[in-house]
Structure formats: structure tokens, C-alpha cells
Amino acid sequence: MKLNVGDAAPLFEGKDQQGNLVRLADYKGKKVVLYFYPKDDTPGCTAQACDLRDNRERLQKAGYEVIGVSVDDEKSHQKFIKKYDLNFTLIADTDKKIVEAYDVWKEKSMYGKNFMGIVRTTFLIDEKGIITDIIEKVDTKAHTEQILK
């Protein structure tokens, strides 16, 4: 089901890069940048993660906590975080429950082949758990600017 601005953000729980349980409910009272990306350590995903890393202080000043979600496992997330010194939580959604709840697991096409994957999308969620913006055309190199606009 397609989510829209004004909808309640679907509650979720998943394991972070350390195997700790992360729940959206744990962030009640805080604003959240919940961003879905296709794959750890690929050019676009790395540019996006590094932009968010480099601007974490600005995002925090605006009241946001950053959570990234992909279907990569915890070990992949650990390597990605270590390689690029990422300073925010990554959730390993290996069972695809979160990506399906947010309707970002879709059929994609590359080089004439169709496959299922994450459509890069960011949801901005307010302190009450309401979606305030959905960024579908993500500029991986200037994502923070899109968020703070």
C-alpha cells in the first residue's frame, strides 16, 4: 500500500549492524530520517551515506535522527560502516518486512533484466510518528539539502 504525507509511519522493528533491536517506537518524540537504499558499498549508496554522515550535526540540530535500511545483513552493514566511518544506525532488513511495510520493495529493471529490489526512498517522520515528507527522487550527493529544504 502506497504511503502518503500525513499517514502514520508503519511501526517496525529490526536488527541494527550490531544485532541490537531497533524499533521506530523507540524514537517517539524525535524526528526521524528513515532512508531506504539498495545496497551497501555501491557508488550511489555510498555517496548518500557519506552525505548524511558529513551533515549529521546539521540534521541533529534540525532535530533528526538518521536510520538507514537495506536488505543487506549485519556483517555487510558492519563493513560499510567501518569503511566509511558512518555515524548512524543501519538496519538489516533481511526478511524484507520493513521494506514491504514502506512499499519500497518493487520490481526494477537493469540491462534488460527485471528483478526485485529497494527503490531508493526517504521518509521524514515527525515526533508523533507521522510522515511529513517522502523523497522519491533522491540526490545521493546532496541528500541532506533535500531533507532540510
Active site residues: 45
In sequence order, the 6+-apart residues with CB closer than 8 A to the CB of 111 are none
135 exposure class (CB count in 10 Å sphere: 0-12, 13-18, 19+): middle
Beta carbons within 10 angstroms of residue 111's beta carbon: 4
Tell me if 50 sits within 8 A of 142, measured CB to CB.
no
* φ, ψ of residue 68 in degrees (nearest 5): -100, 145
Dig out the grid coordinates for 89 from the structure.
544506525
Amino acid sitting at position 35 = Y
47 bridge partner residues: none
